[in-house]
Amino acid sequence: MPESIKKQIARKIASGGRGKLIFQVAYKHIGSEAAVRQAFSRCAKEQKLVRLAHGIYLYPKIDPSLGVLYPSTEEIAKAIAKRDRARIIPTGVSALQKLGLSTQVPMKVVYMTDGAPRKIKVGKRSITLKKISPRMLAVRGEITGMVISALQEIGEKNVTPDILDKIKSVLQREDKKMVIKDADLAPAWIARIIYSIMEVIETK
């Protein structure tokens, strides 16, 4: 007797190990769109999978005390971006935290993306992917993009010498020519900060 579509999907998912993100579209070759969708829906109802968003599931690790162990919001966002062949840039508090400018771990994470916009619930946290502006899309450096987003979150009047020192330390890891090109795309006050930091770096 042929193996059911649900059993085929469950077997393939189990072979990859727990803790993995599962994209429904990756299983479209197993059956019709409706049959695959129904199989995933049943797996979620049976708590074999956790539905995070439309077409996105988690094959969860279960801790006896903590329950479902979710991947980090960054891991989820990067997996979605990789699948969609899209770019993502952390914004707001997320950018501050990644750059070491804040110890706050945000419950609501926002990324800019050139992929499809969406919102994903991950336990008590949420990930929002917002359509990136054409200007920010031209920014090539991952670190420079985060620096621009972080400074926008901080605001011009709240930039302290300590913040400038931390930004200088992270910008040293980026290609200098790329940083200068990216700075040209930032708001004028942010561009001035980046230019002045790069001048200090280049004189050392």
pTM of this prediction? 0.72
The pLDDT mean for the chain works out to 88
Residues 19 and 42 in one domain: yes
- Report the pLDDT averaged over residues 122-133: 85
Q: Residue 160 has what pLDDT?
A: 92
Residues 58 and 10 in one domain: yes
- Report the pLDDT averaged over residues 153-170: 92
Residues 61 and 97 in one domain: no
**Parallel/antiparallel/unpaired status of strands 61-63 and 67-69:** antiparallel
Residues 117 and 164 in one domain: no
Residues 94 and 51 in one domain: no
Question: Given pLDDT bands bounded at 50, 70 and 90, which one contains residue 161?
Answer: very high
> In terms of C-beta distances under 8 Å and separation of at least 24 residues, what long-range contacts does 189-196 make, across chains too?
189/156, 190/148, 190/151, 190/152, 193/151, 193/159, 193/164, 193/167, 194/144, 194/147
Last residue of a domain, one of 92, 108, 134: 134
Domain that holds residue 91: 72-134
**Parallel/antiparallel/unpaired status of strands 125-131 and 108-113:** parallel
Show the tokens assigned to 31: 């059956």
Question: Given pLDDT bands bounded at 50, 70 and 90, which one contains residue 137?
Answer: confident
**Parallel/antiparallel/unpaired status of strands 118-122 and 56-59:** unpaired
State the CATH number of the domain containing residue 10. 1.10.10
Q: Cα–Cα distance between 93 and 73 in angstroms, integer?
A: 13
pLDDT tens figures, 29-68: 998 899 999 999 999 999 999 998 888 999 999 999 988 8
Last residue of a domain, one of 134, 157, 176: 134
The three-state secondary structure class of 53 is strand
- Report the pLDDT averaged over residues 110-124: 86
Last residue of a domain, one of 118, 134, 150: 134
Question: Given pLDDT bands bounded at 50, 70 and 90, which one contains residue 1?
Answer: very low
Residues 115 and 169 in one domain: no
Residues 40 and 53 in one domain: yes
Structural domain count, the chain: 3
Question: Given pLDDT bands bounded at 50, 70 and 90, which one contains residue 2?
Answer: low
